């Protein structure tokens, strides 16, 4: 079949001739995706066995809860960010903190505090490197934003996230810090480690067939939001990580790798009430004002709630 034949056939399958009530947008999207898939089957001569193996794979990925991970690993989530960046550039928005992918491991409802929070529950404090991270949330005119919400989450020393890893305490390494009257935030935690896709999972299975690894550099996730401003979804990477610029999820971006200072001065250590050196990261967030000139940054997607 040629592509024109396929398009006519796909249209007959999607658009009901009986003129029953339908969602035009759903029709439009399904028709395009179905037609493109049928064209790929024709052009690549995909066999029935290959087709049904693909169906089984997607069913297994869904059952394992790995479709969000797969979307990141295939670059689809990064592609959505590229489109969002282009839309903001067309709207004249420049100079804000770079966005990057959310990933599939956010959990709503983390405890909230003003100005400062401790993220970790202390169980890994002796084995891990203590981290203090701080900065200011600014608007696009460079003015501090008091009352902004800085939601932060990251992995533990085994590369696992609380809630999904039931061995961790609730909301371990997850908090919401509301900026103080000067727009400042700070938190104490531990330096996270990088991690990989589940080695026996469906995402790694496909990556193996593509000749790709499934590793991520150590990183810390953020949502930053404030009324009247566009919500920022981003993450910072820990400088020096082996996979810093080789992230399987394509989330590493210039501007999101702040320097890590190692603090060993006894007076500074004592001021933090610690008994060993610690790491410090300074990082400011710059938000855009709300605008109708660019698509919303609020994304409605499935997320866990503890």
pLDDT digits (tens, 9 = 90+) for 114-145: 999 999 999 999 999 999 999 999 999 999 99
pLDDT in tens, the chain (306 residues): 999 999 999 999 998 766 778 899 999 999 999 999 999 999 999 999 999 999 999 999 999 999 999 999 999 999 999 999 999 999 999 999 999 999 999 999 999 999 999 999 999 999 999 999 999 999 999 999 999 999 999 999 999 999 999 999 999 999 999 999 999 999 999 999 999 999 999 999 999 999 999 999 999 999 999 999 999 999 999 999 999 999 999 999 999 999 999 999 999 999 999 999 999 999 999 999 999 999 999 999 999 998
Q: How far apart are CA 236 and CA 205, in angstroms?
A: 27
Query: Three-state secondary structure along the chain?
Result: CCHHHHHHHHHHHHCCCCCCCCCHHHHHHHHHHHHHHHHHHHHHCCCHHHHHHHHHHHHHHHHCCCHHHHHHHCCHHHHHHHHHHHHHHHCCCCCCCCCCCCCCCCEECCCEEECEEECCCCCCCCCCCEEEEEEEEECCCCCECCCCEEEEECCCCCCCCECCECCCCCCCCEEEEECCCCCEEEEEEECCCCEECCCCCHHHHHHHHCCCCCEECCEEEEEEECCCECCEEEEEECCCCCCCCCCCCCCCCCCCCCCCEEECCHHHHHHCCCCCCEEEEECCEECCECCCCCCCCCCCCCCEEC
Contact 232, 224 (CB under 8 A): yes
- pLDDT score at 278: 98
Say what the pLDDT of residue 17 is: 63
- Give phi and psi for 30, each to the nearest 5: -65, -40
pLDDT, residue 15, reads: 85
The strand pairing partners of 112, in sequence order, are 176
**Ranges of each domain in the chain:** 3-69, 95-305
Residue 20 has what pLDDT? 79
Query: Class assignment of domain 95-305?
Result: mainly beta
pLDDT at 118: 98
CA pair distance 279, 214, nearest whole angstrom? 27
Spatial CA neighbour of 234 closest among 250, 221, 252? 221
| Contact criterion met (CB below 8 Å) for 179 and 185 | yes
């Amino acid at each position: 079949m040629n592509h024109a034949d396929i398009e006519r056939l796909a249209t007959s399958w999607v658009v009901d001739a009986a003129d029953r009530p339908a969602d035009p947008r759903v029709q439009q999207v399904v028709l395009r995706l179905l037609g493109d898939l049928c064209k790929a089957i024709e052009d690549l001569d995909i066999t029935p066995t290959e087709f049904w193996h693909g169906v089984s794979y997607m069913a297994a990925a869904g059952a394992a809860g790995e479709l969000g991970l797969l979307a990141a690993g295939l670059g689809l989530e990064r592609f959505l960010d590229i489109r969002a960046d282009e839309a903001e550039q067309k709207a004249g928005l420049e100079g804000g903190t770079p966005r990057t992918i959310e990933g599939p491991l956010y959990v709503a409802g983390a405890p909230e505090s003003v100005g400062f929070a401790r993220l970790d529950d202390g169980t890994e404090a002796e084995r891990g490197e203590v981290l203090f991270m701080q900065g200011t949330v600014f608007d696009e005119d460079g003015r501090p934003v008091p009352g902004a919400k800085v939601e932060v989450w990251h992995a533990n020393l085994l590369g696992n996230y609380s809630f999904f890893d039931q061995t961790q305490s609730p909301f371990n390494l997850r908090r919401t810090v509301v900026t103080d009257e000067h727009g400042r935030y700070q938190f104490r935690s531990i330096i996270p480690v990088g991690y990989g896709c589940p080695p026996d999972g469906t995402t790694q299975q496909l990556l193996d067939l593509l000749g790709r690894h499934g590793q991520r550099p150590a990183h810390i996730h953020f949502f930053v939001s404030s009324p009247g401003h566009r919500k920022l979804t981003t993450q910072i990477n820990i400088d020096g990580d082996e996979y810093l610029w080789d992230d399987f999820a394509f989330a590493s971006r210039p501007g999101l790798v702040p320097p890590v200072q190692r603090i060993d001065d006894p007076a500074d250590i004592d001021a933090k009430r610690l008994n060993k050196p610690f790491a410090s990261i300074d990082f400011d967030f710059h938000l855009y004002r709300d605008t109708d000139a660019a698509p919303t940054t609020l994304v409605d997607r499935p997320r866990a709630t503890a």
